[in-house]
Structure 1
């Protein structure tokens, strides 16, 4: 079993070392498969496995770099005197591990994710960091994992970023699995309405999230899922969200809905 995991490491040697270890770890990849068995096959949810993980990791890394360019200092830098490259390692690791707990159950999965992530952190971090740095990077990663989901609130820049990145994995293709399996509810219908999600520089605020919808049902995804993540991230002052419906007429997703 082998899944492709790639993020743009640029000149971050630490991040490259960590991502190399992620790609080679068969047990981690097996957990991703198990997470999808639970999420998709047993619960009728969207993908919580390797594709989702890669999307979230890339989005989190992009958001972090954009915010740093606009003068935001990562918490691991301001609180511990480490570097921006260490913050990049944290958001990628937290993204990689944030849904591992789905192998146990959906409820409180973020707590199980943190528990399962500890084994991999203990295996990955010694190749890159000193004992003291391992403790810092590990604790910051675990915080980001646990707080990506309610009711826990992120207290670091990195954790806030991971929560927002997770919510941005909402394009239509991501909802087709449960929809085709017969799960017709506001979650699946609204998710199918989201055609494209773009993260752009500038506008009213440093980062503009531009969402293109085929149907106004997509507002549910924005208002009920994305908006709360941004509000609790502690970074809401940096995000501007816009949503547009394409075409003159809305595309019909379902023919009829009955209770």
Structure 2
């Protein structure tokens, strides 16, 4: 039975599109875990308050987690095979669990520093996972789930190439948090770097079934500054993600006062 927090998982209209019983057991406890919650709040201090970057806290994590699970849902609906859990001898039901855990913990290394934060995230996430996963898995399964989560965390923002589709989904979902709300804090405090300005230029990101590919990402921009988010960040993360052949990206400049960009397709 779905929990009362099913809305955190994926589109409520299609929430039974894939096996979710295990995810529905794990995710509510993850969301309520006091140590995880403390990290999500603390990890925003270095990037936002001290360095002027975009949001990397609780809201960012919620968006990345939702979009990772939405990507997973759309890919699974088109029978795209995920290899991470399967190659570890885990169940299909563990695939979205790996995604939810990796999405939630991928940025905790920011408590150490913004630079090289994925590498700092690994030992911090490993400690959290040891205690958290013990509630749901035996020793062997816990280690295998932990391994896949750590791989996805490492590959979300590093030169290391994802070796699983689970890791690729996290990499792409991280880049899909690009709307104007993400830059709210640094923008209001005077930040005008390219990350902040380009986020301000993007009004909406939609993930829907595509006609020629399982996933259609539609990005609505209000000026050409949003191209930085699409071409420099999202395009780079989609490359070699193991899902690049299954995703079509369309970015449209709805407010064409500058007349510089009307439409971009990847």
Which of 182, 187, 209 is equivalent to 2:195? 187
TM-score (norm 1): 0.90
Query: Residue 100 of structure 1: CA displacement?
Result: 0.1
Distance 2:129 2:85 in 1: 20
- Say if 2:93 is the partner of 1:85: yes
**Alignment partner of 1:210: what SS?**
strand
Corresponding residue number in structure 1 for 2:35: 27
Which of 214, 223, 230 is equivalent to 2:231? 223
TM-score (norm 2): 0.88
Corresponding residue number in structure 1 for 2:135: 127
Aligned length: 248
Distance 1:181 1:79 in 2: 47
Cα RMSD of the aligned pairs, angstroms, is 1.8
Query: Residue 250 of structure 1: CA displacement?
Result: 4.2
Corresponding residue number in structure 1 for 2:119: 111
Q: 1:26-105, aligned counterparts within 5 Å?
A: 26-105=34-113
- Say if 2:8 is the partner of 1:6: yes
**Alignment partner of 1:224: what SS?**
helix
CA contact (8 A) 1:91 1:141 kept: yes
- Moved >6 Å (runs of 4+): none
Query: Residue 45 of structure 1: CA displacement?
Result: 1.3
Q: Structure 1 stretch 200-209 or stretch 164-173: which is displaced more?
A: 200-209
Which of 248, 252, 259 is equivalent to 1:240? 248
Structure 2: which 5+ residue stretches go unaligned?
260-266
**Alignment partner of 1:241: what SS?**
strand
Structure 1: which 5+ residue stretches go unaligned?
252-259
